[in-house]
Amino acid sequence: MENHLNQFLTYLRAEKRSSSHTLLAYERDLRQFMEFLADDFEIDEVTDVSTSAVRSWLMLLNTMDYEPRSIHRKMSSLRTFFKFLRREEICVQDPMVNVKGPKIPKRLPTYVDEKAMERLLDDFEYPEGYEGLRDKLLVTLFYETGIRLSELIGLNVNDLESRGQIKVLGKRNKERILPITQSCVTLIEESLTLRIAEVGELEKDAPLLLDENGKRLSPKFVYGKVNYYLGKVSTVQKKSPHILRHTFATHLLNNGAHLNTVKELLGHSNLSATQIYTHNSIEQLKSIHQKNHPRG
């Protein structure tokens, strides 16, 4: 079995171009599995590995208090290993077929509280000129529309619709029209006025937001800005554009918006993707109940 493991690691290194970190993780997982097979089943050939042996190992990991995500990672290592062995015609059967890992608990989306966002959008002093308008507009668009990072970067001048709406091109080139507040419209108009005064009339397909070099924003640039400004008002660990998307959805639901409405605004293809935000709303209701109910 040692020989097959070395073949597999060579394959990962040479053909898959896997990093040294990835190689170490695979080797660690597979050696742990091989030791288990030798000790508990006296198996030293990969062709003798059965589904029941794999399931026994997973049960052992569970009793050793491994986290579900760690167990799933080890399962992924085994699946990749046996897929390689079948490709090389070393194994005929795949012992990973029909093997299921433990259920992974869903992580509740992190979000910024409403008072922090109010401070950031109403009281915070942004830099002078176009830079400040752009930065405030960037944060405002994320929070007011819940758009994705790629969607914000892709916005053009002609995506500003009449009557306080903006057109967004989402996943699978699916368009949606999103409402924006008058204050957001004003920020857009003021930023465009500064650009027109500097360079003249803008092309319709010109980027709505520009970096310091007059280019369309990059993901790294946007991440840096969002991280900086959220750091001024919030202690949330992860300060990313996606956190503002979570914040948008959670605040809408906390204030009575219908789940289907939030689904359409976010551009989700099915309701299950949106339902994760209801947990945060329920937690807020529990908190209100405990604080205000006589028996809370």
Active site residue ranges: 148, 171, 242, 245, 268, 277
Q: In this structure, are residues 129 and 216 in contact, taking their beta carbons and an 8 Å threshold?
A: no
Distance, in Å, from the CA atom of 163 to the CA atom of 7, rounded to the nearest integer, reads 63
Closest of 274, 245, 20 to residue 110, by C-alpha:
245
CA 9-12-17 angle, 5° bins? 140
Secondary structure, 3-state, the chain: CHHHHHHHHHHHHHCCCCCHHHHHHHHHHHHHHHHHHHHHHCCCCHHHCCHHHHHHHHHHHHHCCCCHHHHHHHHHHHHHHHHHHHHCCCCCCCCCCCCCCCCCCCCCCCCCCHHHHHHHHHHCCCCCHHHHHHHHHHHHHHHHHCCCHHHHHCCEHHHEECCCEEEEECHHHCEEEEECCHHHHHHHHHHHHHHHHHHCCCCCCCECCECCCCCECCHHHHHHHHHHHHHHHCCCCCCCHHHHHHHHHHHHHHCCCCHHHHHHHHCCCCHHHCCHHHHHHHHHHHHHHHHHCCCC
